[in-house]
Amino acid sequence: MNRQTSETYYSEAKEVILGGVNSPSRAYKGVGGGTPVFMETGSGAYLKDVDGNTYIDYLAAYGPIITGHAHPHITEAIQQAAADAVLLGTPTKYENTFAAMLQEAIPSLERVRFVNSGTEAVMTTIRVARAYTGRNKIIKFAGCYHGHSDLVLVAAGSGPSTTGNPDSAGVTKNIASEVITVPFNDTHALKEALDHFGEETAAVMVEPIVGNFGMVEPEPGFLEEVNDLAHAAGSLVIYDEVITAFRFMYGGAQNMLGVTPDLTAMGKIIGGGLPIGAYGGRRDIMEEVSPMGPAYQAGTMAGNPASIRSGIACLEVLQGNGIYEKMDLLGQRLQEGIEQAAADYQIPAHVQRVCGALTVYFGVDSVKNFADAESSDTAMFASFFHQMLDKGVHLAPSKFEAWFLTTEHTEKEIDQTIEAVREVFENGLSTA
Ligand code: PMP
């Protein structure tokens, strides 16, 4: 596959854009490097690159593009928003409509606010939880990604009864001393952390179904225990549903699992591909936020009509009959195809899937927490990624990411993908 034009653009990019990319994983760091493909257009389940190659896409822009690329209903909404004025700096009726749609789908969102990214949404839920509880610390789970604000770029200390260490240069030790990180699915560790720091803890933050070290479900009772332990300590529970909201059903993972947080952060899918974040939750907690309360949050672009109308259009598409059932069935077909190929060619591949989102790990039998995911084989994944790319299947360039199906994937794309997997497995994966 010729990708000469991508090579040229990447060389040029590195002369003007730091590192040549505007988000680090796009530089293929997780798959041993290489030249990132410069994509030009997307349509349904497909992407076309600047050299004219086409790919079946499972990146879905890291999740938001659940209705496929350039979905006509969303495109029309964005065009109309552009024609009507892209930014007004005033309230619009569309924000009311969209907030009501979110609240109807996710009843715990008694009050909502729109921001511009998942990072902002998460960052603000933490501020609100601190304002409400008058406490400083947060507890989070290892490997869950919550955006790039300081408080969530903190790695675990040396155990549940210690605070963390900066996970990025520029995050101060003071900030890291406000954060405790424990393993996902480990209620003992959470209990130990709360025994130690409970009285200082404003909130426990969790991805209810993890999407950031592959697709990892909570074990039965885990999220109930998170709620019980946090609340017993007087702490709030924040769900980061930036990936999961509207991914598995029309609603949040919280609806699917039947557990309710105090606050929820969202993003990705709810913008239909335009920049967005939203957060919300219990009304008495949300009333901490300005202009009603003392916790400040603002935004020039917050609630902009283009993102909001794109989001409304996306949710309208997702209200269609059988949408999620279809993604689930196709996800199952893909999973079974990959598992069969792995068995036939004796490749140690392990698939974890929730509805239309799945992860293929190599060299591990089961992934329950970040340590399991980390121990999966990076070199094999990198070899798999690059070979799949050369066969026209576009995956996320990291062993920790999920493959996302869209409403536009059909049996045809799934079967072609399985065929590509079979060819790659037959050829073999390099382990070095
Ligand atoms: N939370 C989760 C669970 C995420 O997956 C991400 C992004 N991958 C974020 C927060 C940050 O969202 P954004 O990139 O829109 O800032």
ipTM over 0.90: yes
Percentage of residues in the chain having pLDDT higher than 90: 100
Is residue 167 part of the annotated active site? The answer reads no
How deeply is 124 buried, as exposed, middle or buried, from its count of CB atoms within 10 A (0-12, 13-18, 19+)? buried
Instruction: Say whether pTM exceeds 0.90.
Output: yes
Pocket lining: 207 vs ligand 1, CB cutoff 6 Å:
yes
Q: How far is CA 358 from CA 37, 63, 338, 396, in A?
A: 22, 12, 11, 11
272: pLDDT strictly greater than 90 = yes
Q: What is the pLDDT of residues 402-414, one digit of tens each?
A: 999 999 999 999 9
What per-residue confidence (pLDDT) applies to 56? 99
* 277 alpha carbon – ligand 1 mean position (Å): 9
Looking from the CA of residue 147, the nearest atom of ligand 1 is 11
Task: Say if residues 58 and 356 touch (Cβ distance below 8 Å).
Answer: no
Among the atoms of ligand 1, which is closest to the Cα of residue 267? 15
Q: Which of 59, 114, 145, 207 to mutate to test the pocket of ligand 1 (most atoms within 8 A of CB)?
A: 145
Nearest ligand 1 atom to the CA of 241 is 3
> Quick check: CB of 62 below 6 Å from ligand 1?
yes
186 in Cβ contact with 194 (< 8 Å): no
Query: What pLDDT was estimated at residue 432?
Result: 77
CA of 284 to the centre of ligand 1 (A): 26
Q: Please provide the average confidence, as pLDDT, over all residues in the chain.
A: 98
Active-site pick, 55, 58, 145, 324: 145
pLDDT (tens digit per residue) in 311-366: 999 999 999 999 999 999 999 999 999 999 999 999 999 999 999 999 999 999 99
For the sheet containing 263-267, what is the strand order?
Answer: 111-115, 277-281, 263-267, 236-240, 201-206, 137-141, 179-182
Task: Encode pLDDT of 78-104 as tens digits.
Answer: 999 999 999 999 999 999 999 999 999
Ligand 1 neighbour 429 (Cβ under 6 A): no
| Average pLDDT, integer, range 117-131 | 98
Structural contact between residues 184 and 216, judged by C-beta atoms closer than 8 angstroms: yes
271 touches ligand 1 (CB under 6 Å): no
Q: Is the CB of 146 under 6 A from ligand 1?
A: yes
Q: Report residue 424 as tokens.
A: 């790659």
Which residues are within 8 A (CB) of 8 and not within 5 positions of it... i.e. 6 or more apart? none
Confidence of residue 388 (pLDDT cuts 50, 70, 90): very high
Q: How far is the CA of 418 from the centre of ligand 1 (A)?
A: 29
> What is the C-alpha to C-alpha distance for residues 358 and 373, in angstroms, rounded to an integer?
13
Tokens linked to 418? 């399985």
Q: What is the pLDDT of residues 198-238, one digit of tens each?
A: 999 999 999 999 999 999 999 999 999 999 999 999 999 99
Cβ 145 vs Cβ 184: under 8 Å: no
Q: What is the pLDDT of residue 92?
A: 98
Strand pairing class (137-141; 179-182): parallel
CB 162 within 8 A of CB 173: no
242 within ligand 1 shell (Cβ under 6 A): yes
Burial tier of 70 (Cβ tally within 10 Å: 0-12, 13-18, 19+): middle
Q: Whose CA is nearest to atom 11 of ligand 1?
A: 147
Which residue segments constitute the domains of the chain, with CATH numbers given?
4-70+322-427 (3.90.1150.10), 72-319 (3.40.640.10)
Residues 6+ positions from 280 with CB-CB distance below 8 Å: 102, 103, 108, 109, 110, 111, 112, 113, 263, 264, 286
Output the residue whose Cα is nearest ligand 1's atom 5: 243
268 is catalytic: yes
Q: Distance, CA 253 to ligand 1 centroid (Å)?
A: 15
Instruction: Tell me which residue of 278, 191, 173 sits closest to 228, measured CA to CA.
Output: 191
Ligand 1 atom nearest the C-alpha of 207 is 3
For the chain, give the percent of residues with pLDDT over 70. 100
In short, whether 10's Cβ falls inside 6 Å of ligand 1 is no
Ligand 1 centroid to 128 CA: how many Å? Answer: 18
Q: What is the distance in A from the centroid of ligand 1 to the CA of 383?
A: 26
261 lines ligand 1 (CB under 6 A): no
Q: What is the mean pLDDT of residues 253-257?
A: 98
Sheet of 54-57: strand order equals 39-43, 46-49, 54-57, 393-394
Ligand 1 atom closest to Cα of 212?
Answer: 5
Q: Report CA(242)–ligand 1 centroid distance (Å).
A: 6
SS (H, E, C) 66-77: CCCECCHHHHHH
Residue 396 in tokens: 């996320």
3-class state of residue 91 by DSSP: coil
Q: List, for residues 24-34, the tens digit of each pLDDT value.
A: 999 999 999 99
